[in-house]
Amino acid sequence: MPRSARDIQLIELKDTISKLNELIMTQTRSMDSLQKTIEDLRQELSNKQAEVDYLKAKLFGSSSEKLKSPFPGQMNLFEEMPDDRIPGMIEPEIIDVSAHRRERKPKATYEEMFDNLPHRQVPPDTLTDEEKKCPVCGTQMVPIGTETVRTELVFHPAYLERVDYMATTYECPACKDSPEPQFVKDGGAAPLVPHSYVSAGLAAHVMYGKFINALPCYRQEKDFENQFGVKIGRGTMAHWTIYCSENYFTPMINYFHRLLTGRKFVAGDETPIQVLKEADRRPQSKSYVWLFRSGDDGLNPIIVYQYHPTRNGDAAAKFFQGPAPGTYINADGYAGYNKLKDFKRCCCYAHIRRYFLEAIPKGKEKDYTDPAVQGFLYCNKLFEYERSYREKGLSYKQIYSRRLKDQKPVVEAFLAWIDKQTAPGGSRLARALTYAGNQRLYMMTYLEDGRCSISNNLSENSIRPVTVGRRNWLFCDTTDGADASMMVYSLLETARANGLNPQKYLEYLLEARPNQNMSDEELENMAPWSPKVQECCVNKS
């Protein structure tokens, strides 16, 4: 039966509708796919933003290792939790320490704040003679007392002074008219740097500016010109530093080295720097500053910095040639320190705690079931014990006894807890667990002596001036400059650790000019802990 035109039209409409439906379904699937792609991109962007926020916090944020939300009663936290929530529970004896209450310090008076400054009083002179007359009888009033109504600090800019040292020639009057007249010349002391106008005070000021205040030589060059109208080139300042280090500072640094290698408790750390002109190396190559210092042994602090082209542990092994076996060294987890074969390594619980702190998810700071929080609290418990020992003023022998009784069970439980933990590969928790597990061999060493430190914070605090300065002076031009910089850092930071004004101590050494022919007794008299040096270079601020 032939189809009518209407039937054909209906069939064509049905085909069109079917195709439109297929198109709609295809478009819907495409939209769903695009929507999923958008969601994936948003999630990826969110993850990237979280990583950026984390890196910003690491770079610019506070370096405190305290949780944002404080834990009330941290010392008793594990005992208060159900047995099934914390694996490897412990119940060590807790030292009775009176509750710590942070009391606000009274505001310091001007006399306390500015006691070391020159002081003068200015009498008032604002009333006229007419105003000093009695308004009742007209009699001239007389002063009967004074009182301080305000205080000002007046700034007096520093200044440079040119000093000409004269040479005097002496003649023998009796031989004056003879064929061989006699003369003698008093040329005075030799200059600090040959053919240079630099004084001990100026050289110390330049080095203090660069290595304590992190002012590169090019900034000091501009400062001298702007303030004093004197042009002192940056290359000239660098030459002063290198010459003084090689000729006057080397004997003291070698003496520090000899003393440090005789200590039984030491610490180490390292940080990268850039040295542009190194033999057979590209300017972009990474070099290192190695820091070695005395530990918390109750003796005079000694801090020595050394430049080395690489991070190879041979630098540490070469520095510590000679110490008696059994020396304790506190360091982070870097394997290079394993080359100190006869040393006993102490791990740094501050590093371990930091890894767990960084692994705590945002908003989970008080979730005691979170493994990262648990790891953090294990470490924090040890630091709480250490703090209580210091507050009670315990001796090293007492600290040793208390550690065995209080902290050894905590460490053992911590190690057992680590063995039971699992974490996704590549996560921050996995990194924390791996780092702590790698330190297993060294986590009990500090318990062997009360003079061993639980952390490497002493070294980290000592390496910080180099890392701060590095952001400003950026690089060392030559290896001689790198060596000289490390010697100046060693003197300044050792002086500061011994309570001296570092600039005064540097000036003192440049006036005394130590040399290689001096005995250890003579060098000891120039050390920062010498009574004579303490008297003239003590930091009164």
pLDDT digits 0-9 by tens, 5-38: 677 777 777 778 877 888 888 888 888 888 888 8
Which tokens hold the place of 496?
Answer: 């500061």
Higher pLDDT, 351 or 51: 351
Average pLDDT, the chain: 85
User: Any residues with CB less than 8 A from the CB of 269 and at least 6 apart, and which?
Assistant: 290, 291, 331, 332, 456, 459, 460, 462, 463
Within 8 A by CB and 6+ apart from 318, the residues are none
Q: Which H or E run includes 250?
A: helix 250-260
Is a pLDDT exceeding 80 seen at residue 79? no
Write down the residue that tokens 């509708």 correspond to: 17
The domain locations on the chain are 240-348+456-537
Give the confidence band of 70 by pLDDT, cuts at 50, 70, 90: very low
CATH topology of domain 240-348+456-537: Nucleotidyltransferase; domain 5 (3.30.420)
Instruction: Count CA atoms closer than 13 A to 195's CA, side-chain side.
Output: 2
10 Å CB burial of residue 69 (0-12, 13-18, 19+) is exposed
What angle is formed at CA 406 by the lines to CA 400 and CA 411, rounded to 5 degrees?
95
pLDDT above 90: residue 445: yes
Given a cut of 90, whether residue 245 has pLDDT beyond it is yes
* Residue 47 DSSP one-character state: H
The separation between CA 472 and the C-alpha centre of its own chain, rounded to angstroms, equals 15
Quote the pLDDT of residue 47: 72
| Alpha-carbon torsion (276, 278, 280, 286), positive or negative | negative
Interval 254-258 mean pLDDT: 95
Cβ neighbourhood burial of 540 (10 Å; 0-12, 13-18, 19+): exposed
Each residue's pLDDT tens digit, 504-522: 999 999 999 999 999 999 9
Residues 38-54 pLDDT 10s:
888 888 787 777 777 76
Matching residue, tokens 């005079």: 300
d(CA 29, CA 171): 111
**φ/ψ (deg, to 5) at 94:** -105, 130
Q: Is the pLDDT of residue 261 over 80?
A: yes
pLDDT above 80: residue 3:
no
Given a cut of 50, is residue 429 above it in pLDDT? Answer: yes
In angstroms, the first-to-last Cα distance of the chain is: 115
Q: How far apart are CA 262 and CA 425, in angstroms?
A: 44
